[in-house]
Amino acid sequence: MFAHTFTISTLFIGFIFSNPIVSPGGDGINYELLGGGIEGDMILPDGFDPKREFDGKGVAIFGPRRWPNNIIPYDISAITNAGQRTMIESAMKILSDAVSTPIAGSTSRKPCVTFRPKISTDQVFVKIQYGTGCSASVGYSSGARTLTLQNSGCFRSGTIQHELIHVLGFYHEQSRPDRDLYVTVNHNNIEIGKEHNFNKYTWGSTVLDQKSPYDFGSIMHYSSTSFSANGLPTITPKQAGAIIGQRDQVSAIDINEIRQFYSCTI
Ligand SMILES: [Zn+2]
């Protein structure tokens, strides 16, 4: 998993394929690719130029992008549907529980990251809102942070957790500098104008090297047909039988990376 943000404004109407990232409604559309940001669903911090700063190693966004005190305040007031608010806050709990630390001799756990409703003194917070596609700001930064969910296509726990992990400061797994050792990017199948979504970053200037192995099972990995022009794979794992693009739950490596980034080692 990688740390950062963006989105691409593209209509994928009619873009039908079978992969694990499609919407809960079963319409075959990957709403993560519609969010209008870099790599479809990531909104980068102000002043963060991925073209200039590309070239690093790791998963987490480079720079002071961790949320202070590991607390992520959010404003969910724009989500008017109570069931959807419940789903979002449940996804937050699932994710925060997954990365929390067991306490010996106790059934409770020590939090690693905490999502909580914003209070009046919070200067920086995540505004959760409806919009086109699914997208999120990558990492902590000054200014408005957003998490956008399309009403019809993004309300699935794994998809919301994916966007929340962007908020924590992570990029897509296949943007790792070493990804060509593990996957083949099939440039001939990429939709014209979308090639930049398959850029790699650079350890130490764009992304941190957290020494984690390449993770086909990351909830932050693209599916095989993301940004496909013809329905054929744009990304093919080099490891036989490897499955990419799951949006069910964070992987063990995802958990370790979040815990490292937020210094939740004990
Ligand atoms: Zn994403």
196 has binding-site annotation: no
Q: Please state, in angstroms and rounded to a whole number, the distance separating the CA atoms of residues 199 and 41.
A: 14
Q: Residue 36: what pLDDT?
A: 64
| Residue 187 assigned to a binding site | no
Place of tokens 């963006």: 6
Measured CA to CA, the distance from residue 245 to residue 80 in angstroms comes to 29
Q: What is the pLDDT of residue 142?
A: 80
HEC readout, the chain: CCCCCCCCCCCCCCCCCCCCCCCCCCCCCCHHHHCCEECECEECCCCCCHHHHCCECCCEECCCCCCHHHEEEEECCCCCCHHHHHHHHHHHHHHHHHHCEECCCCCCEECCCEEEECCCCCCCCEEEEECCCCEEECCCCCCCEEEEECCCCCCCHHHHHHHHHHHHCECCHHHCCCHHHCEEECHHHECCCCHHHHCCCEECCCEECCCCCCCCCCCCCCCCCCCECCCCCCEEECCCCCCCCCCCCCCHHHHHHHHHHCCCCC
Arithmetic mean of pLDDT over the chain: 83
pLDDT (0 to 100) of residue 143: 75
- Residue 199 Cα, ligand 1 centroid: separation in angstroms? 14
Residues 210-239 have pLDDT tens digits of 889 999 999 999 999 999 999 999 999 999
**Active-site pick, 32, 39, 53, 163:** 163
What digits encode the pLDDT tens for the residues 82-91?
Answer: 999 999 999 9
Ligand 1 center–CA 105 separation, angstroms: 37
pLDDT of residue 47: 55
If you measure from the C-alpha of residue 86 to the centroid of ligand 1, how many angstroms do you get, rounded to a whole number? 22
- Is the CATH number of domain 31-262 3.40.390.10? yes
Q: Which of 259, 196, 255, 181 is nearest to 220 (CA)?
A: 255
Q: How far is the CA of 227 from the centre of ligand 1 (A)?
A: 13
- Ligand 1: centre distance to CA 200 (Å): 14
User: What's the gap in Å between 41 CA and the centre of ligand 1?
Assistant: 5
pLDDT at 79: 98
Centre of ligand 1 from the C-alpha of residue 104, in Å: 35
Answer with the residue of higher pLDDT: 1 or 252. Answer: 252
Examine the residue annotation and report whether 257 is marked as an active-site residue of this protein: no
Could you report the per-residue pLDDT of 133-177, keeping only the tens digit for each? 999 998 998 878 999 999 988 999 999 999 999 999 998 999 899
Q: 15-74 pLDDT, tens per residue?
A: 333 334 544 446 777 877 776 666 677 776 655 554 433 332 234 566 678 999 999 999
Read off the pLDDT of each residue in 104-110 and give the average, rounded to a whole number.
92
Residue 172 marked as a ligand binder = yes
Residue 2's pLDDT is what? 55
